[in-house]
Structure 1
Amino acid sequence: MQVKTNLPTNKEPCVLALGNFDGVHLGHRRLLEHGLRQAERLGVGLSVLIFEPHPLKVLYPERGIELLSTTQERLRYFEEIGVDTVFLIPFTREMANTSPEEFVEKILIPLGVVRVVVGFNYSFGAHGRGNPELIQSLGKQHGFGVSVLQAQMIGGRVISSSSIRKALLQGDIPLASSLLGRSPSLSGSVIHGEERGRLLGYPTANILLQEDILIPKRGVYAVWSNIDGRRVEGMMNIGMKPTFHDMYGTSIEVHFFEFTGDLYGRELTVHIGERLRDERKFNDVNELLQQLKMDTIKAETLLKAQLR
């Protein structure tokens, strides 16, 4: 898969999927799969156009945004699905002020689009004035087709990034997993922490997430990671260490059951299997250790059951 950070000067015919694709959830995958079928029918490749940073960060810098995936994760999912080219275009104030008509004429047409694929709620151009109906009209004017996919459902529920965010903030991992079409995950670099876990016999990898990534509800989770080509299971604590601190920022710590090695500085993706319990303050270290033993048994049981 090619990743291009500039718009090409030569037209190469393609089917182009448009959207933010945050999380690349099950609805996004259905849209991209539709794009792949159209591309195969037309004998061209499937391309995706996304902006970096997320437009909301430029349009409303005072607001916090909570993303489901990093740009690198989105690129990895696109490649897995079969996308040929991703145009990763800088989103600037100038881009934000581009009218829908200019967006089509100055960006889409030079890309050589023969068909565009969008979701039912796609918006584009200055002030979000562009919508699927307008891009269909502009497509007729400029000679490219447009596919608009309606809301995608699973179990009677609309699949959306906002629904997944809500589920994760409530700690509802089964719901988030069903909407994503896979287990939720967190990716970040392993940094040095207080190293208290090592002293307690439960060494942890402290994960530093990229800015603007959503952190699920505080608590303990059964998780796994692919480390050096093998699945390594463990449990993750998201919380503020109330047993040891009155005030502490939210930290993400993962204890792996069967792993010895140095992970400092490495990028790690942690897949979340299930939420085990709320975070709580313990009376002493012995009470905490007893709970950690029970958490370990529960996590191992749940993760093995999910493999069956």
Structure 2
Amino acid sequence: MEVCTLIPGQKFEPTVLALGNFDGIHLGHQELLKDGLEKARSLKTLFSVLLFDPHPLKVLHPDRKLELITGKDEKIMLFEKFGVDKVFLLPFSLEFAETTPQEFVENILLKIGVVHVTVGFNYSFGCHGKGKPGDLEKFGEAYNFGVSVVQAQMLDDRVISSTEIRRALLNGDIDLAKSMMGRAPTIIGTVVHGDGRGRDIGFPTANIETHEDLLIPKNGVYAVTAEIDGRIYGGMMNIGIVPTFKTGQEKIIEIHFFDFHGDLYRKDLFIDIQARLRAEKKFSGVREITEQLGKDMEAAKQKLQKQNFTKFME
């Protein structure tokens, strides 16, 4: 899969293009990608996705915490999995934010070489989001490209959306998030040095430093899996302020991997969150916390075994 940054004046070969923010790449997004891929195959063209880089809210509201479900790198990785041939990164700036819907079509979509565009039912484009799917269909008629509008995907009586998934993660509802995403939500970060406390009490942990724009689920203990050096390991993760040992409010992410022996320092890890085990607690001392960690480990292993991760417990 090719990833390229759009530069003014560039022209490309014909393509079917999927448009959207794709935060979470949930089941609704996946239906959109499936539609685009099928259209590209029928038209015998490439299938591409257009992403703004950086995220528009980062430019328009620099002081706002984004709390993204998926960062750019994970999106690109998932796009390839879902059959995308090319990802266009379109630089976003305050100046570009003034682009009208018609200018967006003429200066971006037509230059990319679109023969068909697929969008979600609530897609908006152009300055202040003035352009809607209906407007895109009219532009398609005028400039001779097709448009597919993918309707809302439902889970029971809920519309599957990034907003609903974000709310679920902040409430610690991993099961709902997984159901809407069609896979486990992830935490991506780099292993950094901690204070060594976990090793001292028999549960060595990897401390994870995440990108500041990514959403961190509700404080608590979770069963997780992660690929390390080509092998999947199960583990348990604590998200919180570690009240037994600290008095501050800084959120810390620590993971104890089962049966892993080695140095993870400076490694980048993709951690799949499989289940929430319990809320974060304050303990009376080391003995009480080590007893609870032993219970957490057994609970995490049981959760992973029930979800067919038995082979990761070896």
TM class by shorter chain equals over 0.9
Q: How many residues are paired up?
A: 308
Q: Is residue 40 from structure 1 mapped to residue 64 from structure 2 by the alignment?
A: no
Secondary structure of 2:172's match?
A: coil
The alpha-carbon deviation at position 245 of structure 1 amounts to: 1.3
1:39 aligns to what SS in structure 2?
helix
The unaligned stretches of length 5 or more in structure 2 are 310-314
Q: Distance in 2 between matches of 1:252 and 1:146?
A: 43
Q: Partner residue of 2:56?
A: 55
Q: AA paired with 2:84? A: V
State the shift of 1:11 in Å: 3.3
What does 1:50-89 correspond to in 2, within 5 Å? Answer: 50-89=51-90
* CA shift digits 1:85-144 (9 cap, x unpaired): 000111111111111100000000011100000001101111111110111111111110
Report what 1:99 is aligned to: 100
Deviation string, structure 1 residues 207-258 (Cα, Å, up to 9, x no partner): 1101110000000000010111111001000000100112140000000011
**Which secondary structure does the structure 2 equivalent of 1:162 belong to?**
helix
- Tell me the residue number matched to 2:185: 184
Rounded Cα–Cα distance in structure 2 between residues aligned with 1:147 and 1:5: 25
1:221 aligned residue:
222
SS at match of 1:122: coil
Q: In structure 1, what is the Cα distance between the partners aligned to 2:258 and 2:136?
A: 52
Q: CA deviation at 1:191?
A: 0.4
User: Secondary structure at 1:22's aligned position in 2?
Assistant: coil
Is residue 2:3 matched to residue 1:3? yes
Give how far 1:203 is off: 0.5
Q: Tell me the secondary structure at the aligned position of residue 206 of structure 1.
A: strand
Name the structure 1 match of 2:304: 303
The one-letter code of the counterpart of 1:187 is I
Instruction: Show the counterpart of 2:121.
Output: 120
- CA shift at 1:154, angstroms? 2.3
Q: Which moved more, 1:114-123 or 1:239-248?
A: 239-248
- Percent sequence identity is 55
After TM superposition, the structure 1 = structure 2 runs for residues 246-257 of structure 1, keeping only pairs within 5 Å, are 246-257=247-258
Question: 2: distance between equivalents of 1:267 and 1:204?
Answer: 15
- Kindly provide the amino acid, as one letter, of the partner of residue 120 in structure 2: G
Structure 1 CA distance for aligned equivalents of residues 237 and 194 of structure 2: 14
Match of 1:145 in 2: 146
The Cα shift of 1:26 comes to 1.1
Q: Find the aligned partners of 2:11 and 2:61 in 1 and give their Cα distance.
A: 34
What is the RMSD of the two structures over their aligned residues, measured on CA atoms?
A: 1.0
- Matched with 1:210 is 211
Moved more, 216-225 or 60-69: 60-69
Deviates more, 1:61-70 or 1:143-152: 61-70
Provide the C-alpha distance between the structure 1 equivalents of 2:212 and 2:288, rounded to a whole number of angstroms.
Answer: 34
1:132 corresponding residue in structure 2: 133
- Output the CA distance in 2 between the equivalents of 1:248 and 1:55: 29
SS of corresponding position for 1:268: strand
Q: Which runs of 5+ in 1 are unaligned?
A: none
Query: Aligned partners of 2:249 and 2:11: how far apart in 1?
Result: 53
Corresponding residue of 2:175: 174
Partner of 1:262: 263
Cα distance in 1, alignment partners of residues 299 and 121 from structure 2: 42
Q: Following the alignment from structure 1 to structure 2, what is the Cα–Cα distance between the partners of residues 107 and 244?
A: 54
SS at match of 1:307: coil
TM-score (norm 1): 0.98
The C-alpha deviation readout for 1:168-217, integer Å capped at 9, x for no partner, is 00000100000000011100000001110011111100111011100000
Give SS of 2:307's match. helix
Q: Provide the residue aligned with 2:279 in structure 1.
A: 278
- Please give the secondary structure, in 2, of the residue aligned with 1:93: coil
For 2:312, the equivalent position in structure 1 comes to none
Provide the secondary structure at the position in 1 that maps to 2:95.
Answer: helix
Q: Distance in 1 between matches of 2:206 and 2:50?
A: 35
Further displaced range: 57-66 or 166-175:
57-66
d(CA) in 2 for partners of 1:303, 1:98 = 48
Distance 2:261 2:194 in 1: 17
SS at 2:194 equivalent: coil
